[in-house]
């Protein structure tokens, strides 16, 4: 592509409303333009990368035996009523009515539609397993769309769904998808990790998220330093400390702590570590009344953690008797079970109590005295109060032993770009998607689902690959792998001829080449800056001075130094260095 | 692709609600499945063809210098208010509201969005011309979606838009797009015609439709038998008969025609040809009152045609004083200007009168007497009444002289699959899309727009290429170009080996091959029938008997006869015969 034939829409200024780096760089490099909140046009530069991501996803899905289809974006309400999601899905579901007042939604995913296709087109277990996918526009009416295409309302997603006659078959396809996803993100040139993920309220057997590692990620991922173990911190198990709990050695004393209630303040006042303070969190419990409605709150439940640990809400809300989603108790509710907000401790409580494994291992600690402005010191489980049920309640932290049994955990931030999920029969049961089994009996199909946020991958790749000058594309998804800057092309016939020849040869060799043939009104400095902003990984500068010495100047976007390369060998050198997807 | 790994969804029965052949065959072959009225899922078979059409469209657009972008499907109402289309577009515009009650529509086209992009990203005439396009899902909430993907509500369209600083530049890009469209439809393997089309109410300078010729087409196209001239009958000019009008020879007589008012009945009663009867059509005129609102009706206008000719409404509504869109006058309105519904003629009318060129050439004809149950015979213009304004009012018919001056016209039916249009400044003016010109002055850009109904092309190709057994794909857009049927593969090792080798060789040679490896429960007859229904153009049958003679059996989907081809040369023969796009 010649610069003079390309819509270059680079901008010097960083747009005011862009917060994350990928959003800033996508706007500044001219990859996208905002149409309205959460709605973006992919400009020629951005679309080139988006299509490359799409192509790699498609190739690997096909290679793994999945079949591509294309479902409508507009889906009838009836199917969502069958699954129940018409009522459960909140404001994110973009609902619409046609001219005959029939209700539809703009699909945020397509479980209902694909299950409808399966029940209408599959009749025998012999047709299974069947793995269908599409790359299609989705819509989620986010309350607060932000971060550009990272959390847009309209976005491009690859969503796949598999159908099975047995759990074993699902497991097999799930593993094949796991491998396909690993190949996809490897080919995209990204540093990523598949991590164990929470299966959520659907409660399928297994689930993995695929995260691109980047400082700006919204998720915390825990890794073992000695094995492949990786899990979302939401899910990673905090194993119990080894060895016996230290014996009690201090005596229980009540101390005045007027208006001092946070763990940090208590530790400071008492001159102890926060890990020696017991933290109490009171949450609402489920109602045990016979006529209780779903979600109705009953007696509060008290959770105890070590002062330096964070509550893991997902672990907490799965505990028996705890209301899900988690709700914190009011001061009045705390009082009802014998606590005092800000000063709650284990002594004399009349509530169900859960103690985190690490908290249960504490000795001679400080805790609330269940009196305003008072704490105990020298407190000990067993001796001073019962310890309740010991469970895993906290987020893992760096340095924790890995739950896999090997090494210790490290924590990194990640951006979720893929998710695979053993769905089970949630949708197939609701929609009665059955096939005849070996015995001629109806059998509800078991399902898996497999998503990749195609447009999000583009943003995540930038979050992982950038510097002060702009984007640094991995070769496989660079809009152009190679940039040519012919210096004073309009004056020098030698430069012009060399540039044209190289451009032709590289294009014929299958590379996407960007030749900056803009005239002298665009300075070399502007051309270099545009190329760096746009993230073109390989740059060749052609100048009269170089040609006199028989060389072209080569620089990788990532390299500190330029190199002089013999003009004769430049084609071969680039063929070796540029890695096409 | 192996049949056992492909979702074959062929059906023997023709679905009840399918009327046109493409709809029937797309359902029966398993290309599409209906989700709801006007909403279809593209199944693996159908999507393969859709993607091939897309790819050819994209390649030729790129080659012609257009740049691909991707605009959101959901468009903010504000832009449509700026262009005025928010109020003008009727029920076909799918309007929606987001969670904050802001109004949007699901784009049926993207003139507003692309003009917004142009005004925000183009600032100088030096950046022009700029030609942008996308291949994107569109939505039109048709009152009565029908004919499958031919007139679906959600559909795939390539829409392109060009921006220019001058009319000459628009003309140049328009011609380049005309050539690109011709290449596209040629590469798709379709019998098509670019035809002059009406520019409608926008009144741009020029417009062409691209029609796939097929009996089932909804449009009539007029062709010269001696030149390239082709035009939609809506537009084709009916030129005036040559020579002088015959002199009057009969005398004017009033005859009783009780309750006989249609041209056919009058001709029959009087025992003359319908071409000797003058047909009167009374339509509403525009109001001449100073305070008249737009669209308010004024005095009726009377149109006269030869009895055997059809009124061309588009020509009529462009006449001065005629209300547009065309409305027929009521019996009372006819009476007001001196006519009598069913018996209106030129004598004694007090209305504005237009006479078609052919009608103005009639002599000694019959016409209404402006009295109930009475006609004149032997009537003649000039002698018996004034002839009014002579204009082109009728549809051309086969045998008319071509308006290009060469040959006579033939009429064929076509399916509109593309439309190119010199838009002018309608949108750029409304949205104030300007650039600075050579003199540093703001200049409103001139626009062109260029559409291809990508999903409709698939249906049109089938309308043009089918027989009783199913679809007959042109090679370029066949889901698979070659089908292999290995006979008794599971018994014969020789057949199996030959089939596997051929499958591998053909796939490696770049062909899309469908190998029917279904086991013996699927009879050869079913395999042949499925392949014919799916429209695979080249078929190779491998059998033990053939292999003993060293041959494979080849048949083109279109051929009457099978051929035996030497097993050694089959690869070469197929390479010669299969034309990849």
Task: Please tell me if residue A39 touches chain B, with a CB cutoff of 8 Å.
Answer: yes
Residue B231 exposed, middle or buried by CB count within 10 Å (0-12, 13-18, 19+): buried
Asked whether the predicted pLDDT for residue A204 surpasses 90, the reply is no
Q: What is the pLDDT of residue A161?
A: 98
B41 contacts on A by Cβ (under 8 Å) = 69-72, 113, 117
Q: How many helices (H) and strands (E) does chain A have?
A: 15, 30
One-letter-per-residue 3-state SS of A333-368: HHHHCCCCCCCCCCCCCCCEEEEECCHHHCCCEEEE
Asked whether the predicted pLDDT for residue A108 surpasses 80, the reply is yes
Task: Please tell me if residue B73 touches chain A, with a CB cutoff of 8 Å.
Answer: yes
- A120 closest CB neighbour out of B33, B40, B50: B33
What is the DSSP-derived secondary structure letter of residue A475? G
Q: What is the pLDDT of residue B580?
A: 80
Q: What radius of gyration do chain A's Cα atoms show?
A: 30
Q: Report the mean per-residue pLDDT for chain A.
A: 94
Task: Please tell me if residue A41 touches chain B, with a CB cutoff of 8 Å.
Answer: yes
CB contact under 8 A, A42 and B69: yes
Task: Please tell me if residue B36 touches chain A, with a CB cutoff of 8 Å.
Answer: yes
Topology (CATH level 3) of domain A57-237+411-462: BirA Bifunctional Protein; domain 2 (3.30.930)
CA of B67 to nearest chain A CA: how many angstroms apart?
Answer: 6
The answer for residues whose C-beta is within 8 angstroms of residue A122's C-beta and 6 or more apart is A128, A130, A163, A433, A435, A445
A507 contacts on B by Cβ (under 8 Å) = none
Asked whether the predicted pLDDT for residue B481 surpasses 90, the reply is yes
B280: which 2 tokens? 């009167």
CB count within 10 Å of CB B538 equals 24
CA distance A190 to A418: 13
* pLDDT tens by residue, A95-106: 999 999 999 999
Topology (CATH level 3) of domain B3-237+411-462: BirA Bifunctional Protein; domain 2 (3.30.930)
3-state secondary structure of A55: helix
CA of B9 to nearest chain A CA: how many angstroms apart?
Answer: 7
Query: Are B238 and B400 contacting, i.e. CB atoms less than 8 angstroms apart?
Result: yes
CA distance B352 to A476: 71
pLDDT band at B520 (very low <50, low <70, confident <90, very high): confident
CA distance B581 to B578: 10
Element (H, E) at A95: strand A94-97
The answer for residues whose C-beta is within 8 angstroms of residue A523's C-beta and 6 or more apart is none
Element (H, E) at B417: strand B409-424
Asked whether the predicted pLDDT for residue A68 surpasses 80, the reply is yes
> Residue A339's closest CA among A282, A390, A283?
A282
A99 contacts on B by Cβ (under 8 Å) = 91, 141, 143
Using the CB atoms, write b or e for B112-126: b if 16+ within 10 Å.
Answer: bbbbbbbbebbeebe
Q: What is the pLDDT of residue B287?
A: 84
Asked whether the predicted pLDDT for residue A487 surpasses 80, the reply is yes
pLDDT band at B290 (very low <50, low <70, confident <90, very high): confident
Task: Please tell me if residue B9 touches chain A, with a CB cutoff of 8 Å.
Answer: yes
Q: What's the gap between Cα B409 and its chain centre? A: 19
Comparing alpha-carbon positions, the chain A residue that sits nearest to B156 is A72
CB contact under 8 A, A96 and B99: no
CA distance A338 to A327: 19
Q: How many CA atoms, within 13 angstroms, populate the side-chain half-sphere of residue A241?
A: 14
A1 contacts on B by Cβ (under 8 Å) = none
* pLDDT tens by residue, A526-567: 999 999 999 999 999 999 999 999 999 999 999 999 999 999
CB contact under 8 A, B75 and A99: no
3-state secondary structure of A553: strand
| Interface A-B: count of C-beta contacts within 8 A | 126
CB contact under 8 A, A33 and B117: yes
Mean pLDDT value of segment A121-138:
96
CA of B148 to nearest chain A CA: how many angstroms apart?
Answer: 13
Q: What is the pLDDT of residue A304?
A: 97
CA of A47 to nearest chain B CA: how many angstroms apart?
Answer: 6
B119 contacts on A by Cβ (under 8 Å) = none
Which own/partner pairs from B542-548 qualify as long-range (CB within 8 Å, at least 24 positions apart)? B542/B484, B542/B485, B542/B486, B542/B487, B542/B495, B542/B498, B542/B499, B542/B502, B543/B487, B543/B488, B543/B495, B544/B487, B544/B488, B544/B492, B544/B494, B544/B495, B547/B494, B547/B495, B547/B498
Q: What is the pLDDT of residue A581?
A: 66
The answer for residues whose C-beta is within 8 angstroms of residue B502's C-beta and 6 or more apart is B484, B540, B542, B552, B570, B571
CA distance B112 to B118: 10
CB count within 10 Å of CB B415 equals 28
> Residue B531's closest CA among B556, B549, B561?
B556
Residue B338, Ramachandran bin (φ over 0: left; ψ between -120 and 50: alpha; else beta): left
> Residue A33's closest CA among A4, A1, A6, A11?
A11
Interface of A with B in 45-64 (CB under 8 A): 47, 50
> Residue A128's closest CA among A160, A173, A83?
A173
Query: Are B236 and B271 contacting, i.e. CB atoms less than 8 angstroms apart?
Result: no
Query: Are B498 and B547 contacting, i.e. CB atoms less than 8 angstroms apart?
Result: yes
Is pLDDT larger for residue B375 or for residue A198? B375
CB contact under 8 A, A71 and B121: no
Is pLDDT larger for residue B16 or for residue A378? A378
Q: What is the pLDDT of residue A520?
A: 87
Q: How many helices (H) and strands (E) does chain B have?
A: 15, 30
Mean pLDDT value of segment B74-98:
95
Task: Please tell me if residue A72 touches chain B, with a CB cutoff of 8 Å.
Answer: yes
CA distance A336 to A282: 11
Could you list the beta-strand ranges (E) of A267-398. 278-283, 301-306, 352-356, 365-368, 374-379, 389-391
pLDDT band at B347 (very low <50, low <70, confident <90, very high): very high
Q: What is the pLDDT of residue A388?
A: 84
Comparing alpha-carbon positions, the chain B residue that sits nearest to A77 is B36
A94 contacts on B by Cβ (under 8 Å) = 74, 96, 98
What is the DSSP-derived secondary structure letter of residue B15? P
Q: How many CA atoms, within 13 angstroms, populate the side-chain half-sphere of residue A119?
A: 19
A73 contacts on B by Cβ (under 8 Å) = 73, 137, 154
This prediction's pTM: 0.89
CB contact under 8 A, B35 and A106: no
Task: Please tell me if residue A81 touches chain B, with a CB cutoff of 8 Å.
Answer: no
CATH of B253-391, one of 3.40.50.300, 3.90.960.10, 3.40.50.720, 1.10.490.10: 3.90.960.10
Query: Are B307 and B263 contacting, i.e. CB atoms less than 8 angstroms apart?
Result: yes
CA distance A71 to A51: 19
Its CATH architecture, for the domain A480-577, is 3-Layer(aba) Sandwich (3.40)
Q: What is the pLDDT of residue B320?
A: 93
A102 contacts on B by Cβ (under 8 Å) = 36
pLDDT band at B581 (very low <50, low <70, confident <90, very high): low
Say yes or no: do domains B3-237+411-462 and B253-391 share a fold: no
A50 contacts on B by Cβ (under 8 Å) = 70
Across A296-300, A464-468, B42-46, B92-96, least confident range = A296-300
Task: Please tell me if residue A137 touches chain B, with a CB cutoff of 8 Å.
Answer: yes
Task: Please tell me if residue A71 touches chain B, with a CB cutoff of 8 Å.
Answer: yes
Comparing alpha-carbon positions, the chain A residue that sits nearest to B38 is A72
Residue A153 exposed, middle or buried by CB count within 10 Å (0-12, 13-18, 19+): buried
* pLDDT tens by residue, B538-570: 999 999 999 999 999 999 999 999 999 999 999
pLDDT band at B204 (very low <50, low <70, confident <90, very high): low
Q: Can you give the residue ranges of every domain in chain A?
A: 57-237+411-462, 253-391, 480-577
CB contact under 8 A, B33 and A117: yes
Residue A404 phi, psi (nearest 5): -75, -10
Provide, rounded to the nearest whole percent, the portion of chain B with pLDDT above 70. 98
CA distance B538 to B526: 17
Asked whether the predicted pLDDT for residue B512 surpasses 70, the reply is yes
């Amino acid at each position: 592509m010649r610069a003079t034939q390309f819509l270059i829409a680079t901008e010097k200024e960083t747009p005011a409303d862009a917060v994350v780096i990928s959003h800033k760089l996508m706007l500044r490099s001219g990859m996208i333009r905002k149409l309205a909140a959460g709605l973006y046009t992919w400009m020629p530069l951005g679309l080139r990368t988006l299509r490359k991501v799409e192509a790699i996803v498609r190739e690997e899905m096909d290679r793994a035996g999945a079949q591509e289809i294309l479902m409508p974006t507009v889906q009838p309400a009836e199917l969502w009523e069958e699954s129940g999601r018409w009522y459960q899905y909140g404001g994110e579901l973009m609902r619409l009515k046609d001219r005959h007042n029939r209700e539809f939604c703009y699909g945020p995913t397509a479980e209902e539609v694909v299950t409808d296709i399966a029940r209408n087109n599959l009749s025998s277990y012999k047709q299974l397993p069947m793995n269908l996918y599409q790359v299609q526009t989705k819509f989620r009416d986010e309350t607060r769309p932000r971060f550009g295409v990272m959390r847009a309302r309209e976005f491009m997603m690859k969503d796949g769904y598999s159908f099975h006659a047995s759990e074993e078959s699902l497991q097999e396809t799930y593993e094949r998808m796991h491998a396909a996803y690993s190949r996809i993100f490897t080919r995209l040139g990204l540093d990523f990790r598949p991590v164990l993920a929470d299966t959520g309220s659907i409660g399928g057997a297994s689930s993995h998220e695929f995260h691109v590692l980047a400082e700006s990620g919204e998720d915390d991922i825990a890794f073992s330093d000695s094995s492949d173990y990786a899990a979302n911190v939401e899910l990673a198990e905090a194993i119990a400390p080894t060895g016996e709990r230290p014996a009690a050695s201090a005596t229980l004393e009540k101390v005045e702590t007027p208006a001092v209630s946070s763990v940090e303040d208590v530790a400071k006042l008492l001159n102890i570590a926060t890990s020696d303070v017991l933290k109490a969190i009171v949450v609402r419990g489920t109602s045990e009344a016979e006529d209780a409605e779903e979600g109705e709150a009953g007696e509060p439940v008290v959770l105890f953690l070590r002062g330096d640990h964070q509550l893991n809400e997902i672990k907490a809300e799965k505990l028996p008797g705890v209301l899900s989603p988690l709700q914190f108790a009011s001061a009045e509710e705390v009082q009802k079970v014998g606590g005092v907000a800000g000063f709650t401790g284990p002594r004399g409580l009349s509530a169900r109590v859960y103690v985190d494994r690490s908290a249960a291992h504490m000795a001679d600690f400080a805790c609330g005295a269940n009196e305003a402005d008072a704490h105990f010191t020298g407190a000990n489980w067993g001796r001073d109060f019962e310890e309740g049920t010991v469970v895993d309640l906290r987020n893992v932290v760096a340095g924790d032993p890995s739950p896999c049994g090997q090494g210790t955990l490290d924590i990194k931030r990640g951006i979720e770009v893929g998710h695979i999920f053993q769905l089970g029969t949630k949708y197939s049961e609701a929609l009665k998607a059955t096939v005849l089994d070996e015995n001629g009996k109806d059998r509800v199909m078991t399902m898996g689902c497999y998503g990749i946020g195609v447009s999000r991958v583009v943003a995540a790749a930038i979050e992982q690959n950038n510097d002060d000058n702009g984007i640094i594309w991995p070769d496989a998804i660079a809009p152009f792998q190679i940039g040519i800057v012919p210096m004073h092309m309009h004056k020098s016939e030698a430069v012009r001829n060399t540039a044209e020849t190289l451009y032709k040869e590289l294009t014929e060799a299958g590379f996407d080449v960007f030749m900056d043939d803009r005239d002298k009104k665009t300075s070399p400095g502007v051309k270099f800056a545009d190329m760096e902003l746009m993230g073109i990984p390989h740059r060749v500068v052609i100048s009269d001075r170089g040609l006199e010495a028989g060389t072209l100047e080569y620089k990788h976007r990532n390299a500190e130094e330029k190199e002089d390369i013999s003009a004769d060998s430049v084609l071969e050198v680039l063929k070796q260095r540029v890695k096409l997807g």
